A = this chain, B = another copy of it.
Amino acid sequence: MSNYKTINLERYSIMFKALSNPHRLQIFNLLTGCCEPGTVCSTNEAISCCVGELDQQLDIASSTLSHHLKELNRAGLLNMKREGKQIFCSINPSTLIELGDLFSAESTIKPN
Contact = CB atoms under 8 A, between A and B. Distances in A.
Contact of A4 (B12, B37, B109): B37
A9 B37 contact: no
Interface in A58-85: none
A59 B58 CA distance: 40
A54 to B, nearest CB: 14
* Identical subunits present: 2
Nearest to A17: B20
Nearest to A108: B33
A43 B106 CA distance: 11
A37 B4 CA distance: 6
Residue of A10, A21, A29, A97 with most chain B CB atoms under a 10 A cut-off: A29
B41 A25 contact: no
Contact of A40 (B25, B105, B108): B105
A29 to B, nearest CB: 4
A87 interface: no
A104 B42 contact: yes
